[in-house]
Chain A
């Protein structure tokens, strides 16, 4: 299954090529999006996520789609998801922006930052909850979510959303496209 997941990620560029013009050149909008969603190369700082920050985080992006990877320190299923979503973003930088959001309190900043580095996703914008318990921010991010981690929230430019809880299967990962 792990191999199938990696295979899916590797094959996704082939699927993505269907969206390019017949002569193989990337459409101008996609090129702009590529610039917007380029893979960051430096370590991003961990920022707190408060209730008032959530409208901007879940606002539909101008281009492509935003992947919000929700995870927590106590969750053993979260790290494979973070890796898979980072791989997806790297394979399609013109389509996806990735933000990691730890549902743990920002007071655990050091542990969160350490884990993000260990998983290899510290270069992406990272947030952690500014409240002592996660339930309200969970609800504001996604009312259909009960707080189980991992969860990925995909927000497309057209305003549509997809939320998937649990470790992503290849089929679920493909559905995010």
Chain B
């Protein structure tokens, strides 16, 4: 019966693909899906989207003021720019600026992964290219972006080509797949994509981060068994070998739904994989744990409960920071919990910023041993210092 239901759903979805008029964001204010990063000189860069244009702004004063925007894509295109599916920014070894985003295609749930680079410190950007070689009008979206220790640009995304093939063959297929690609020429071209794994969740952000060895690790929501939506971990191989994908969380949240809560991951120099993720097995909960792929996480801790969402994590030496949005009738609070003993214990939650109006997903950034939070609110972009030295 499960198979029959899946087939029915897939056929229904396919029928809908034939006619839909999904429009791009055309509001006057930018959506709150933004990303930020420090370059090697400590300059802050913020990327977001407004009316079909990816724009990059820089700040030399830790976010107090942002410079005039530089438009990345002169020709407007529909862009996904929600908290879970937002433009990304990363830097090459010589502060080359790399930007990726998901282009919204006309049919529901469809997209292309797009990329552009600047080799002149943001003065100009290359014409955007489409990363994935597959041009079917299906989901290639929720892109993630990182640069490995060798300067390779790695991107991973949610991809529904296998789901589409299964529908064609009349076979069931739960969820989507994760595909990835990389560039060895500084973003001029990307290799044909590789499939990482089947049965990923369809609408949660992926996270890519560095391992202690300079490789790129992925952490993302995966579907196990009959719709148990836990998380998987893998180091993305770029040497032609298959990547090993292992289950890394075991909350057993069983649900046929879109959680829209992707995880966070930061790996310390000692190799400890500090992770945060969301599950609602027994009510909404943000969890912290140290991943031990194939086994339940170590030092697992419920960081926050009802009203908490969209956590991020960072690590430096023995200090671990976890931030998240906590909502109430009064608005949004940006919350922090900090550990000074490698994540074994955490301080009590502390409110470090507040917004009466909507706020996007917080993003932890490190500079000179200090932790900052990029927090994009309706009132404007903020860089919030966690106010504690590591």
Chain A residues close to B by CB (< 8 Å): 1-4, 51, 72-80, 105, 107-108, 110-111, 114-115, 118, 131-133, 135-136, 138-140, 143-151, 165-167
Q: Are the CB atoms of A146 and B22 closer together than 8 Å? A: no
Stretch from B12-20, B147-155, B238-246 forming part of the interface with A: B12-20
Which chain A residues lie closer than 8 Å to B380 at the CB level? Answer: none
Residue tally, chain B, CB below 8 Å to A: 54
Shortest Cβ distance from residue A107 to the other chain B in the assembled complex, whole angstroms: 4
The reply to whether the CB of B159 lies closer than 8 angstroms to some CB of chain A is no
Contact string, B347-368, partner A, CB cutoff 8 A, digits 1/0?
Answer: 0000000000111100000000
Query: Given that A76-B9, A133-B360 are contacting pairs, would A4 and B1 also be in contact in the complex, using a CB cutoff of 8 Å?
Result: yes
Given contacts A74-B109, A111-B22, A133-B360, contact A143 B307 (CB under 8 A): yes
Q: Shortest distance in angstroms between B9's beta carbon and chain A's nearest beta carbon? A: 6
CB distance from A80 to the nearest CB of B (A): 6
A-B contact pairs, 11 of them (CB 8 A): A2-B5, A76-B109, A111-B22, A114-B22, A135-B307, A135-B309, A135-B332, A139-B307, A146-B259, A148-B261, A167-B257
- Give the 6 A-B residue pairs with the shortest CB-CB distance, closest first: A146-B284, A1-B1, A167-B256, A107-B27, A1-B5, A166-B257
Q: Which residues in chain B, 296-320, are within 8 Å of chain A measured between CB atoms?
A: 306-307, 309-310
Contacts of A143 in B (CB 8 A): 306-307
Whether B306 lies near A136 (C-beta < 8 A) is no
Stretch at the interface among B120-128, B263-271, B323-331: B323-331
Alpha-carbon distance between A79 and B9 when the two chains are bound, in angstroms: 9
List B229-281 residues whose CB lies under 8 Å from chain A.
255-261, 278, 280
**Nearest chain B CB to A44 CB, angstrom units:** 19
Is the Cβ of B31 less than 8 Å from the Cβ of A73?
A: no
Contact in complex: A80, B12 (CB < 8 Å): yes
Structural contact, A135 and B327, CB atoms closer than 8 A:
yes
- A74 to B109 alpha-carbon distance, docked (Å): 6
Specify which of A2, A77, A132, A139 is in contact with B257 (CB 8 Å cutoff): A77
- Separation of A149 and B26 alpha carbons in the complex (Å): 24
Contacts of B203 in A (CB 8 A): 74-75
Nearest CB in chain B: distance from A106 CB, A: 9
Asked if A132 meets B21 with Cβ closer than 8 Å, knowing A72-B260, A165-B257, the reply is no
CB of A166 within 8 A of CB of B328, answer no
Asked whether, in the complex, the Cβ of B310 is within 8 Å of the Cβ of A105, the reply is: no
Please give, as numbers and ranges, the residues of chain B lying within 8 Å of A74 by CB-CB distance. Answer: 82, 85, 109, 202-203, 258, 260
Question: How far apart are the CA atoms of A102 and B310 in the complex, in Å?
Answer: 20
CA distance in complex: A115, B109 (Å): 12
A146 and B261 in contact, given A76-B9, A135-B309 (Cβ under 8 angstroms) = yes
**Contact call B307/A150, Cβ cutoff below 8 A:** no
Q: Residue B8 at the A interface, CB < 8 A? A: yes
Residues of B within 8 A of A139 (CB): 306-307, 327-328
